[in-house]
Structure 1
Amino acid sequence: MEFPESEIAEIKKFINLLNSQKDSVVVVEGKRDSAALVKLGYSGKILEFHKFNGMIKFADSAAKYRKLILLLDGDRKGRYLTKKIIELLERRTKIDLLFKKKLVSITKGKIRFIEQLVCYESYFV
């Protein structure tokens, strides 16, 4: 799959900006989402929602971080999880949705699932 150079440059800037968020943790749904971010060079802390066996266990664990960057999928389930996480944690920690919005903007909505970011991997060698 071919991508415009400007889009590749924006994805690289996106990953660098994500890496610069030292006091934050990125929240994804599962291990393929996590693996996709790592393949593109993300080196920070990642929480995989599905490892926690439920919303309450996740919320209790995630509340100890200063800032959560939510990068959940753009499907119905991902939107539901985003809404519930915000409801449970908005008074306990800072929640950042700007990275999710930025990713949608960069890819013009082509990437709905975080795991699809692996399609950019060949440009990151």
Structure 2
Amino acid sequence: MQVSEQEILELKDFIFELNSMSNSVVVVEGKRDSNALRKLGYQGKILEFHRFGGMINFADAVVNYQRLIILFDRDRKGRTLTGKTIQLLQRRTKVDLSFKRKLRIITKGKIMFIEQLVSYESFLI
């Protein structure tokens, strides 16, 4: 994969900004997604959607967080989960999609799945 110096710098800034978010939690689909974020240097709280056993259980569990940073995949399943999450939680807590958009812009659309971020690991160390 071709990676520009600009992408690397922007990805470092992305992780730094993600780490600096207080009173928030990052939500990903599964274990590989959370592992990819950890390998890039994210140190905050990560919730894996699939551990909750359904949308209702997930919604009930995350309502106590002030801000949910949604980083679901960009495939059909991820878009569906994002839409349902917004529908269920928009009046109960703040749902932040800005990081998902930033990631798409930084990687120029090359990353469809959060777990693919591990391909940047060697550039960030």
TM-score (normalised: structure 2)? 0.98
One-letter identity of the residue aligned with 1:102: K
After TM superposition, list the pairs within 5 Å mapping 1:10-89 onto structure 2: 10-89=10-89
- Could you tell me which residue of structure 1 aligns to residue 112 of structure 2? 112
Distance in structure 1 (CA, Å) of the matches to 2:3 and 2:78: 25
Count the aligned residue pairs.
Answer: 125
Shift of residue 72, structure 1, vs aligned partner: 0.2
User: Post-superposition shift, 1:2?
Assistant: 3.7
Distance in 2 between residues matched to 1:41 and 1:123, nearest whole Å: 12
Partner-residue secondary structure (3-state), 2:88 = helix
Q: Counterparts of 2:124 and 2:110 in 1: how far apart (Å)?
A: 19
> Which ranges in structure 2 are unaligned for 5 or more consecutive residues?
none
Structure 1 unaligned residues grouped into runs of 5+: none
- CA distance in 2: counterparts of 1:113 and 1:37, whole angstroms: 12
- TM-score calculated relative to the size of structure 1: 0.98
* Partner of residue 94, structure 1: 94
CA deviations 1:81-125 (Å, max 9, x no partner) are 000000000000001000000000011100010000000000222
Query: Identity of counterpart residues, as a percentage?
Result: 66
Q: What is the SS of the residue equivalent to 1:43?
A: coil
Counterparts of 2:2 and 2:22 in 1: how far apart (Å)? Answer: 32
CA-based RMSD of the aligned residues comes to 0.7
